[in-house]
């Protein structure tokens, strides 16, 4: 069995790689930082292929698929965020974010899903966020990218059901996690973050059991329910206050 993991050089991606390696999966780990990928490889006990690649480049996404079609599991995890008033944040950074958080997921999900459906087997895990269920003032672009992943995955799940396909798709929706994301996004969370090791272990266990919504932790499960039943303008106000406290 073989799994391909994007954004595997640190955080959740790295720890998912470790968890799958414990379960004897061969791995293809993808990220931009070759040195960090080599460090991850040293922690793994199964065959590992390293691919140093920037997935904000659309052609790279297509190349990744063409050169690595033979996999059983796809883990879309690469991504980053930013924090600040939408009128003041960097457009260039946001375009890179959209390309990484949406376009790379969309392309890889589509290409691998087509192959998996033809073979009637395979699993896809899209790493989203609890942010995907609510508006995110002061992190507008990031929240929007995660909402896209949630809705895309939900739609694909229904199509697979109607086709009676054996292909599985799932979404991982954690809350704050102690990873390099916080540094890149320039935020500090008011809620204590979970460890990426815990999130990855929880995610892999639930994913391999076929669960669709994978939401680690009781507080985050409650936040998902609250975001679903509360008016969006109320959720936006609460979210704004939370984001405001994050800005350094």
Residue 176 reports pLDDT greater than 90 = no
Assess whether 142 carries a catalytic annotation.
Answer: yes
Assess whether 161 carries a catalytic annotation.
Answer: no
**What pLDDT is attached to residue 184?**
46
> Rounded distance, CA 143 to CA 135, Å?
7
Retrieve residue 73's tokens.
């599991």
**What pLDDT is attached to residue 76?**
98
**What pLDDT is attached to residue 194?**
85
Q: Which of 65, 105, 142, 143 is catalytic?
A: 142
Residue 159 reports pLDDT greater than 60 = yes
Q: How large a percentage of the chain has pLDDT more than 70?
A: 93
Q: Which of 25, 105, 143, 146 is catalytic?
A: 146
In tens, the pLDDT along 48-88 reads 999 999 999 999 999 999 999 999 999 999 999 999 999 99
Three-class SS string for the chain? CEEEEECCCCHHHHHHHHHHHHCCCEEEEEECCHHHHHHHHHCCCCCEEEEECCCCCHHHHHHHHHHCCCCCEEEECCCCCCCCCCCCCCHHHHHHHHHHHHHHHHHHHHHHHHHHHHHCCCEEEEECCHHHHCCCCCCHHHHHHHHHHHHHHHHHHHHHHHCCCCCEEEEECCCCEECCHHHHHCECCCCCCEEHHHHHHHHHHHHHCCCCEECCCHHHHHHHHHHHHCCHHHHHHHHHHHHHHHEC
Flag whether the pTM goes above 0.95. no
**What pLDDT is attached to residue 179?**
62
Q: Which of 106, 80, 109 is nearest to 93 (CA)?
A: 80
Residue 1 reports pLDDT greater than 70 = yes
Which of left, alpha, beta for 217 (phi over 0: left; psi -120 to 50: alpha)?
Answer: left
Mean pLDDT, the chain, rounded, equals: 91
| 248: confidence class by pLDDT, cuts 50, 70, 90 | low
């Amino acid at each position: 069995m073989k799994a391909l993991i994007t954004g595997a050089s640190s955080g959740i991606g790295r720890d998912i790689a470790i968890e799958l390696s414990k379960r004897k999966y061969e791995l293809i780990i993808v990220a931009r930082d070759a040195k960090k990928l080599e460090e991850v490889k040293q922690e793994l006990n199964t065959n590992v292929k390293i691919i140093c690649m920037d997935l904000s480049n659309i052609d790279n996404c297509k190349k990744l698929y063409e050169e690595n079609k033979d996999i059983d599991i796809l883990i879309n995890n690469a991504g980053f965020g930013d924090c600040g008033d939408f009128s003041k944040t960097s457009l260039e950074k946001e375009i890179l974010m959209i390309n990484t958080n949406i376009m790379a997921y969309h392309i890889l999900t589509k290409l691998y899903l087509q192959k998996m459906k033809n073979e009637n087997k395979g699993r896809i895990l899209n790493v989203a966020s609890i942010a995907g269920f609510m508006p995110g003032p002061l992190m507008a672009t990031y929240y929007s990218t995660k909402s896209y992943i949630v809705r895309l995955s939900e739609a694909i799940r229904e199509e697979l059901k109607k086709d009676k396909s054996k292909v599985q798709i799932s979404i991982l929706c954690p809350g704050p996690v102690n990873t390099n994301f916080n540094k890149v996004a320039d935020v500090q969370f008011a809620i204590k973050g979970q460890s990426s090791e815990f999130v990855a272990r929880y995610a892999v266990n639930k994913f391999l059991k076929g669960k669709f919504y994978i939401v680690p932790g009781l507080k985050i499960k409650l936040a998902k329910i609250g975001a679903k039943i509360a008016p969006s303008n109320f959720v936006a106000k609460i979210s704004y206050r939370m984001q405001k406290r994050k800005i350094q």
